[in-house]
Amino acid sequence: MAANTVDDQLSSNDFRLSLVRLVGPALVALITLGQLGAVNRFNVKGPAWLDPASLSAVVASGLFFAFYYGNTTYVSAQLRSRLSLPENDSNRITGTQSVSGKVLRRVRWARFQYFVGFALLIGAVGLFVAFLWT
């Protein structure tokens, strides 16, 4: 769902950024479990390729979240700076204006990175659970 106005876009950006901030500790916990030798701790012997595949998916997910975070914070900062310009500046925008095409393209690219990051994270958790229970 695309945001139509600047205020909607900023609200959506803030919500998704908070989700990404919450996912960070989950990524660290998953990497830590894998690297601390969950295989030895839980005494399971899953297929050898599942653990490295899970860790690779976690790292790729983290990279996509980092790219998303960078793009979204850039767009939010750009919109907020244009909102705070003096009234007589031609680059000033209001919260009720629609989002410009250039900003919207960057937001769409960032959202793609967001969804790919979540898909990779879900895949990583699935691979890790499959590794523990096979």
Residues 73-89 have pLDDT tens digits of: 999 999 999 999 998 88
Written as one string, the DSSP assignment of 42-58 is HT----TTHHHHHHHHH
- The domain limits of the chain are 6-133
**Band (41; pLDDT cuts 50, 70, 90):** low
pTM of the predicted structure, to 2 decimals: 0.79
- Output the CA torsion sign for 8, 84, 112, 65: negative
Residues 99-128 have pLDDT tens digits of: 888 888 999 999 999 999 989 988 988 887
Distance CA 134, CA 113 (A): 31
